[in-house]
A and B are shown apart, each in its own frame.
Chain A
Amino acid sequence: MRELVKKLTSIYGPAGNEELVSQAIREEIESYVDEIEIDVMGNLIAHKKGSGKGKRIMLAAHMDQIGFMVTHIDDKGFLRFSNLGGISVPYSINRRVMFKNGLAGVIGYETEIDSWKDITLSKMYIDIGVSSKEEAEKLVKIGDVAVYHPLFSESNGKYISGAMDDRAGCALLVQTIKNIKSTPHDLYFVFTVQEELGLRGARTAAYALEPDIGIAVDVTATGDTPKCRPMAVSLGKGPAIKIKDASVLAHPLVKDLMISTAEKYDIPYQLEILEYGGTDSGAIHLSRGGVPSGVLSIPCRYVHSDSETIDASDLENGVKLLTKILEENIEF
């Protein structure tokens, strides 16, 4: 899976601009599914028919990553920006960014500010190395979006890159699609758009599909670094089965299904409580008359930075677990 993760995390795809990611995923899964369609929001929906005796299940992983949208070009060619999704000030200062055409830039801030606490996104800018507005306008325009410059590393079984959130989830779904041998269920693998802007793609996809069950696959934080916010999730201890986050209380039936499947097949897993944040299941579960939903999480350090870190074994065990869940009957 290393190559798949490396490939997906390096593709340019900030929220609202997921086309290249969508294309790449489509190429990966085309021959393994029965139907593919793209809806008006840009969600990629892949349908894998089951034997007809099971449930209608919607899986979701989001294609979009956080980004920086150019809102103003000043006289000296420096670019002011606004965030698309959860961009954090400390994670952005002096980071390298990249536009769709490969143009590189550096994020600077107004250094006359004395205290780091006073730096806000509106006091920062992107430097693309030009010296005038005219020069800048030849390379970028207002509305163009930059992302953290992609760079993939592997270290001791850990994969490190920006956009692990949620290309790792996309990779998990892609690999699951390839691995599933047979299933009683009607499966809809939805690679969603604009999750980082508020679970937007998932809302319309769920409404259109009317699933019986929803399972999102996304990254979650960990509690295994020095003096961090306490959380009972660590890298390397298995994929996490979400109990709650700010957007959803995982439905007990779905959560218990995930736990019992993991135990049945001896797949390591952890239980996750996230005291903030949200995932596509937040939108799916409130669709129409309600959809019992859960989340399969990939533990990840440094979320929303350019060096999000996951454990390869967690990812592989996540594929195993999801595959087993989808291959078996669901009683409720």
Chain B
Amino acid sequence: MDAKQFLGQLIDVPGVSGYEDKVSKLIMDAFEPYCDEVYRDTFYNVYGKKLGNKSGHGPKVMLAAHLDEIGLMVKDIDDKGFISFTNIGGVDQRILLSQEVYIHGKEKLFGVIGAKPPHLQERKEAQKAVPMKDLAIDVGLPAGKVKELVSIGDLITFKSPLVELEGSNVCGKSIDDRAGVVVLYETMKELQKLVFSGEVYFVATAQEEVGTRGAIISTYKINPDIGIAIDVTHGDTPDASKNDTHSMDKGPTIGVGPNMHPKLTKKLMDVAKENGIGYQVEVAPGLTGTDARSMQVSREGVPTVLIELPLRYMHTTVETLNMENVKKAAKLIALFIASMEEGWEECLTY
């Protein structure tokens, strides 16, 4: 299936941090045809292992893109059947008013996060964001029925299927980082056309949104020579500083800073230049907010590089992505892996 199709499927399947069962199964099925081995661990990290197709001592490379999404969780159910909730991961509370959601209880229920009508608001009320603790989900059922079907701790996801915008742009929820998982998928397809030695582990990591926890666990298990983290970064919008955002049309970004290995990063940029793949540079002065932060310091250390897709409106239900960047990132990574010839260990030195 093509990249856009896969992304559309992925974002519709629930997989809030810690509860990635369903989405991990979908990903395992997709990876099957392109990997030598596909499995997942008890934390729902999905691993697709691909062996090299030429002899040699190529590196053990681990790619990581996270499969979990931010979401909400049922905190309590009141006597009228209204559901109060808490967030899992960094949900911006300002996007919640009037959102449409699904509650994954004994049945999947549709609900809305209600908003007080303007007619009933006090003068200055409208100037402040409504705090999450004052919001509630209305599932349109009597309290007794709600309490039968829904329990404290049930997960809540947003309803926001993929929509196509102009150009190659698409919009939906959880593109952070399901688009990264699509990059993994496209990369394994690209790698079929190339020659490489060593082993590649395509890992869809769990619980990134609550502290890169899946990456800590999976990197320890694999103990790779090289790490490649794939995530999203901020696309440019009129209200954000140019310092912190990137163009949607100039390619994926390559991370530079203490969290990324300098020689390995330079090699990645060389591969991009040699193959005419446009990219942008993202400078990170400290730890990045991605799996790279944990991969780099696993066990005896893993030289790591970071590739990100510019994404507008991150952590909302209208995250916007240019699909062209998915293809570019996949091509770049596949070529990078194939470029690890004899003496690749040199790029890991200082």
Interface residues in chain A, defined as those with a beta carbon under 8 Å from any beta carbon in chain B: 229-232, 243-244, 249, 251-253, 255, 271, 273, 275, 285-286, 288-290, 292
- B84 near A230 with CB under 8 A, answer yes
Of chain B, the residue at the smallest CB distance from A270 is B152
| Chain B min CB distance to A207 (Å) | 11
Contacting B152 at CB < 8 Å: which of A253, A271, A289? A271
A232 CB contacts on chain B under 8 angstroms: 75-76, 152
- B152 near A249 with CB under 8 A, answer no
19 residue pairs bridging A and B, Cβ less than 8 Å apart: A229-B133, A230-B76, A232-B75, A232-B76, A243-B153, A244-B18, A249-B207, A249-B210, A251-B42, A252-B19, A252-B21, A253-B42, A286-B213, A286-B216, A286-B217, A289-B218, A289-B221, A290-B43, A292-B43
- A289 CA to B133 CA in the complex, in Å? 36
Interface string of B133-155 (1 = CB under 8 A from A): 10000000000000000011100
Of chain B, the residue at the smallest CB distance from A247 is B211
Interface centre among B84, B88, B151, B152 (most CB of A within 10 A): B152
Of chain B, the residue at the smallest CB distance from A286 is B216
- A275 CA to B72 CA in the complex, in Å? 12
Interface centre among A244, A289, A292 (most CB of B within 10 A): A289
- A290 CA to B45 CA in the complex, in Å? 11
Of chain A, the residue at the smallest CB distance from B73 is A273
Chain B residues touching A, range: 20 to 34
- B18 near A273 with CB under 8 A, answer no
- A273 near B210 with CB under 8 A, answer no
Of chain A, the residue at the smallest CB distance from B151 is A271
- A289 near B17 with CB under 8 A, answer no
With A244-B73, A251-B42 already in contact, the answer to whether A275 and B86 are too (CB < 8 A) is yes
- B42 near A273 with CB under 8 A, answer no
- A292 CA to B21 CA in the complex, in Å? 14
With A243-B73, A243-B152, A271-B153 already in contact, the answer to whether A249 and B18 are too (CB < 8 A) is yes
B313 within 8 A of A: no
Interface residues in chain B, defined as those with a beta carbon under 8 Å from any beta carbon in chain A: 17-19, 21, 41-43, 73, 75-76, 84, 86, 88, 133, 151-153, 207, 210, 213, 216-218, 220-221
B41 CB contacts on chain A under 8 angstroms: 289-290
Of chain B, the residue at the smallest CB distance from A275 is B86
| Chain A min CB distance to B151 (Å) | 7
Of chain A, the residue at the smallest CB distance from B213 is A286
A253 CB contacts on chain B under 8 angstroms: 42
Majority secondary structure of chain B interface residues (helix, strand, loop or mixed): mixed
- A251 CA to B43 CA in the complex, in Å? 8
A286 CB contacts on chain B under 8 angstroms: 213, 216-217
Interface centre among A252, A253, A255 (most CB of B within 10 A): A252
- B17 near A249 with CB under 8 A, answer yes
Of chain B, the residue at the smallest CB distance from A252 is B19
Given contacts A229-B133, A273-B73, A290-B220, 4 further A-B contacts (CB under 8 A): A252-B19, A286-B213, A289-B41, A292-B43
- A290 CA to B206 CA in the complex, in Å? 12
A243 CB contacts on chain B under 8 angstroms: 73, 152-153
- A253 CA to B19 CA in the complex, in Å? 11
| Chain B min CB distance to A297 (Å) | 13
- A289 near B153 with CB under 8 A, answer no
Of chain A, the residue at the smallest CB distance from B43 is A290
- A243 CA to B151 CA in the complex, in Å? 11
B151 CB contacts on chain A under 8 angstroms: 271
Of chain B, the residue at the smallest CB distance from A242 is B153
Of chain B, the residue at the smallest CB distance from A255 is B153
- A288 near B75 with CB under 8 A, answer no
- A230 CA to B41 CA in the complex, in Å? 35
